[in-house]
Amino acid sequence: MEPRDVLKAQHYARLIKEETAQLNVLVRLTGIKPRISTTADIAGEDYEAVRANANTSKVFTRTSTARRTLFFQAAIPVLMCILIILAVIVHGDVTPYSIAFGSTLGAAFFVMAVLHVRKLLAAPSIEIKAAGILLNKHFHSWTTVLDTYIVIRKVRGNTESTLILLTDNGAIIKTPLHDYSSLGQNAAFDISYYIEHYKRLQYQTAFAC
* 112-155 pLDDT per residue, tens: 777 666 665 655 788 999 899 999 788 999 999 999 999 988 76
Q: Which of 31, 50, 55 is nearest to 39 (CA)?
A: 50
Residue 168: pLDDT above 80?
Answer: yes
**pLDDT attached to residue 127:** 92
For the question of whether the overall pTM of this predicted structure is more than 0.85, the answer is: no
Q: Are 150 and 162 contacting, i.e. CB atoms less than 8 angstroms apart? A: yes
- CA–centroid distance for 42 within its chain: 18
* Cα distances (Å, whole numbers) of residue 176 to 38, 153, 181: 15, 11, 12
Alpha-carbon Rg of the chain, whole angstroms?
A: 23
Range of lowest pLDDT (12-16, 70-74, 77-81): 70-74
